[in-house]
């Protein structure tokens, strides 16, 4: 059992967060290259873009990329929050604890990620 635990981290383990962040980065990198390839080789219009993203393979690839982005964003934002929203960063300004502010920040991040994820999945799967 590790000495330091944190219930709000994504995988509850530094190792799994570390691996997930890198795997999700690879997925996003591959997806980015795929999009760049499309924009460079195709005469871009709304119709061609909708046709490209509406193909079944691209729908699944986009879904994987959106999920990877959500995981990557949460691990990153959680790390930023646990670095900077600390009591000693605010002096005596938070009444003894940064816990409340960090919780609000984390809730805001999760809410934003879930909304963006649901919204983009609706768009991607509405293209067919």
Nearest-approach distance from CB 14 to another protein, in angstroms: 3
Which of 23, 26, 89, 114 binds another protein (CB under 8 A)? It is 89
Does 47 contact another protein by CB under 8 A? no
Q: Which is nearer to another protein, 9 or 59 (CB)?
A: 9
- Residues 7-36 as x/- pattern, contact with another protein by CB under 8 A: --x--xxxx-xxx-----------------
Q: Which two tokens stand for residue 85?
A: 């929203």
Instruction: Give the integer Cα–Cα distance in Å for 25 and 113.
Output: 16
Which of 28, 53, 67, 86 binds another protein (CB under 8 A)? It is 86
Instruction: Give the integer Cα–Cα distance in Å for 71 and 20.
Output: 7
Nearest-approach distance from CB 23 to another protein, in angstroms: 12
Q: Which residues bind another protein (CB under 8 A)?
A: 1-6, 9, 12-15, 17-19, 79, 82-84, 86, 89
């Amino acid at each position: 059992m590790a000495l330091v635990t944190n219930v709000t981290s994504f995988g509850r383990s530094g190792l799994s967060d570390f691996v997930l962040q890198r795997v999700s980065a690879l997925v996003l990198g591959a997806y980015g290259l795929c999009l760049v390839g499309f924009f460079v080789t195709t005469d871009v219009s709304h119709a061609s873009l909708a046709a490209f993203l509406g193909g079944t393979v691209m729908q699944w690839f986009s879904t994987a990329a959106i999920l990877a982005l959500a995981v990557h964003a949460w691990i990153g934002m959680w790390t930023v929050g646990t670095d900077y929203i600390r009591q000693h960063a605010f002096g005596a300004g938070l009444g003894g604890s940064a816990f409340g502010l960090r919780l609000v920040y984390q809730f805001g991040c999760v809410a934003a990620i879930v909304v963006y994820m649901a919204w983009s999945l609706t768009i991607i799967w509405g293209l067919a």
